[in-house]
């Protein structure tokens, strides 16, 4: 039984009808199980209508030549092509991704680029031919990456050598994508009210905060008020003043201070 995990959806409710393509699965030159993305099926559905399109991609990659065909179809398409990466655009799928006129990437998506690979067998000459072919395939992939990102071939080649993975922000930073999906517009930092005194609030003002009112009442409510604002010494002095104010009259104040000094040592 064939399974097809990619399809077109036409949005009729808009002023100009647009189409959305959900492209999920491995890129293949032909279908085996029905869940591959193949050039012929893609072409048939791409050209079945006109207008701007959106392509959602979630693919681990696959056949580089099939991906190249789909890349060319998207670049040659007459309408505006918006690519949205919602899960993964790796290997050959990254080639398709950079075909979009606008490329958006989900904040939880990933991209990956690496060197092409193949299977080869035979003698030394056969191996040399395979190596030469892979080198040329890499150069063709670099053409697409350079065109989209504007980065140097040397830098991109090194990234492919290292099999480079990057998240949404890095994809935008490197030029593989134009914007992160769902990213909120950056808001200007809120400035403090010009008519508000940061050192004094009109509402909820406590007695004595403005320098007026009963001084004894101020001490009762805020015995350590100044201590928070300055230093450890202020804390100690404030505490000492509070204790000596409430000390029994039978104990001279100077003796009490000496005892407290001994406790602090």
On average, the pLDDT of the chain sits at: 79
The pairing of strands 164-167 and 53-59 is unpaired
What pLDDT was estimated at residue 242? 55
For tokens 């905060």, name the residue: 209
For residue 168, what pLDDT is reported? 97
pLDDT at residue number 152: 97
Q: Which of 150, 75, 166, 73 is nearest to 114 (CA)?
A: 166
Element (H, E) at 127: helix 124-149
What tens-digit pLDDT sequence spans the chain (265 residues)? 344 444 555 555 554 568 998 889 999 998 888 788 899 989 988 988 899 999 999 999 999 999 999 999 999 999 999 999 999 999 999 999 999 999 999 999 999 999 999 999 999 999 999 999 999 999 999 999 999 999 999 999 999 999 999 999 999 999 999 999 998 765 555 554 544 555 544 455 554 455 555 555 544 544 434 333 334 444 455 555 655 555 555 556 566 666 666 555 5
Q: Taking a C-beta distance cutoff of 8 angstroms, is the pair 247, 238 a contact? A: no
Q: What per-residue confidence (pLDDT) applies to 258? A: 65
Question: Hey, what domains does the chain have and what are their CATH numbers?
Answer: 7-180 (3.90.226.10), 215-264 (no CATH)
Would you call 5 helix, strand, or coil by DSSP?
A: coil
């Amino acid at each position: 039984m064939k399974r097809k995990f990619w399809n077109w959806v036409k949005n009729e409710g808009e002023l100009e009808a647009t189409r959305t393509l959900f492209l999920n699965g491995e890129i293949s030159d032909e279908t085996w199980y029905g869940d591959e993305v193949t050039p012929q099926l893609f072409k048939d559905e791409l050209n079945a209508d006109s207008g701007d399109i959106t392509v959602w991609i979630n693919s681990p990659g696959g056949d580089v030549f099939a991906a190249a065909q789909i890349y060319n179809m998207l670049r040659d398409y007459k309408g505006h092509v918006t690519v949205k990466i919602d899960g993964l655009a790796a290997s050959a799928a990254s080639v398709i991704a950079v075909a979009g006129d606008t490329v958006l990437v989900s904040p939880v998506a990933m991209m990956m680029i690496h060197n092409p690979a193949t299977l080869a067998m035979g003698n030394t000459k056969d191996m040399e031919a395979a190596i030469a072919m892979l080198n040329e395939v890499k150069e063709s992939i670099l053409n697409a990456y350079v065109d989209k990102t504007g980065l140097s071939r040397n830098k991109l080649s090194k990234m492919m050598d290292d099999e480079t993975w990057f998240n949404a922000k890095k994809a935008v930073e490197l030029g593989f994508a134009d914007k992160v999906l769902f990213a909120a517009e950056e808001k200007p930092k809120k400035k403090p009210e010009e008519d508000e005194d940061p050192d004094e609030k009109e509402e909820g003002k406590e007695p004595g905060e403005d320098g007026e009112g009963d001084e004894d009442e101020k001490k009762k409510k805020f015995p350590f008020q100044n201590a928070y604002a300055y230093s450890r010494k202020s804390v100690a002095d404030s505490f000492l003043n509070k204790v000596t104010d409430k000390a029994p009259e039978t104990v001279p104040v100077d003796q009490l201070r000496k005892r407290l000094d001994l406790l602090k040592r």
